[in-house]
Amino acid sequence: MSLRAGLSRISLLRSNPVASSRLYRHLNSSATVPPSVARYLASLKDDTQDTDVIHRDYPLLRWEVTQTEQSFRNALLNKNEIETMLQTLALSALPEDLSRIEQILVRYDKRLQPPSYSETHTVIIRALIQKGSFQSVKLWLEHMPKKPGGVKPTLEHYHMVLEAGPQFCSFKNMEQLVHDMRQRGCEPVDDTFKRLALARWLTTARVSRIPLPADFAPMFQNMKDIGIPYNTTVAGMLNVMYLDKQRVRYAEDIVALYDQIYSDVLSPELVWENEWLLRFSSAIKDGGVAGGLKLLPKYLEEGGKPSVRLLGVFMQRISRFDQLCSVRDQLGVVPSQEQWSMVLLHCIKRGGIIETMECYNGLRNEGVMPTANAVSKLVQFIVATHSDARAAIDNSLKVFTEFTTSLPDHCDQLPRETQRSLADLYSTMLKELSQLPSPQLSEEY
């Protein structure tokens, strides 16, 4: 693949630039709009992203509208234009701009603007987040019910803040936000704690290290205390994240910790299964994969059914592609994407380019595409080990293109943590290619 073609493929992954939110709408019937109104209206429509224009012209426009008894077929400013102005003011987050937002929402005139909706508040909150003002976001959520329309913050509003939290506030701020939402009658769900757990991971890893399983114990206990039913969604997400970092023991421990905290609500079957997983883990630590497989007949005899969780216990001693295939066949369990990717990461760590590419091709022959994190590490490895810049470009672009081809048409529908991994991979690809020595390129490139 040529460099030009490869970089063209990369560019397709970029989010399409958000179209300018300015809306230049011509007045349908200027004759029905008094000149004094039309003058301020035209100025405002042309500069809905200029705070000075908003401060200058919106109050004057509203005044002129209130002075006329004339009615208009449609509101002079549509919902998008109002929201663009509110977004512009919120992005500033200066006291006078926040005050103007209040005035726009409070001084409602149906001839001038449509009423405020939950989506209108979403625009404001998103802009306050982008500004990086947690206190402003917190106060806005707190006072929303008292604002025009009496709109209460929704679960989606809180989730939006939690997703962005690691970028502009502390983990304690986010914990307090979850507490506040409950106080205001908005009950958290599993997805709330998924976002909180991801924030715990990101804020800890940003400072020093990936968090220990024990760091999540208070969160799991809180989930149980407030009545969140037993559901392995959060622990399962963390399990995958630990596996992606090749921390197999932590991956086991996080699930065991969650089960321990919810132990009094587990079914007898699940308690039995957990006890067997601990026996397998102990046998594998002492005798390797062979030691664990010796327990398999007894496990099956007592009614056990091999699962991805059981295979995960074996992963602490599996580091090669053929080993995983062998254990897969003996257990009759299809490995998860993360488990396949762990083997590839082990190959990269050992440093053999031939073995690594054979492992990657083996995964592809199994119909598996490694995780974004594993592909990112593979791209870095290919570039670092190739002495031929052109070969490094071609091979890394081949891997990258195969990965992007496997993605769904709409990446915004992927889980948020997956979207972050994709963004990291994209950055890695550009960084690695930019650091390669420039080969003598023909016109083909």
Taking the C-alpha atoms of residue 397 and residue 394, their distance in angstroms, rounded to an integer, is 5
Report the pLDDT value the prediction gives residue 14, as an integer from 0 to 100: 37
Contacts of 272 (CB under 8 A, 6+ apart): none
Taking the C-alpha atoms of residue 162 and residue 129, their distance in angstroms, rounded to an integer, is 10
- Report the half-sphere exposure of 438 (CA within 13 A, side-chain side): 4
Taking the C-alpha atoms of residue 325 and residue 337, their distance in angstroms, rounded to an integer, is 13
Q: Exposed, middle or buried by CB within 10 Å (0-12, 13-18, 19+), for 266? A: middle
Helices and strands per DSSP (H, E), number in the chain: 22, 0
Taking the C-alpha atoms of residue 414 and residue 418, their distance in angstroms, rounded to an integer, is 6
Give the Cα-Cα-Cα angle 72, 111, 28 (nearest 5 degrees).
40
Report the candidate in 297, 255, 300, 299 with the shortest Cα–Cα distance to residue 276.
299
Taking the C-alpha atoms of residue 219 and residue 211, their distance in angstroms, rounded to an integer, is 13
Query: CB 294: neighbour CB atoms within 10 A?
Result: 11
User: What is the DSSP code string of 177-195?
Assistant: HHHHHHHTT----HHHHHH
Domain boundaries, the chain: 34-115, 336-445
Per the CB < 8 A criterion, the answer to whether 125 and 140 are in contact is yes
Report the pLDDT value the prediction gives residue 331, as an integer from 0 to 100: 96
Report the pLDDT value the prediction gives residue 270, as an integer from 0 to 100: 87
Where b means 16+ CB within 10 Å and e means fewer, 28-54 reads eeeeebeeebbebbbbbbebbebbebb
- Eight-class DSSP state of 72: -
Positions in the chain whose pLDDT score sits under 50: 1-31, 440-445
Contacts of 232 (CB under 8 A, 6+ apart): 255, 258
Report the candidate in 61, 18, 8 with the shortest Cα–Cα distance to residue 36.
61
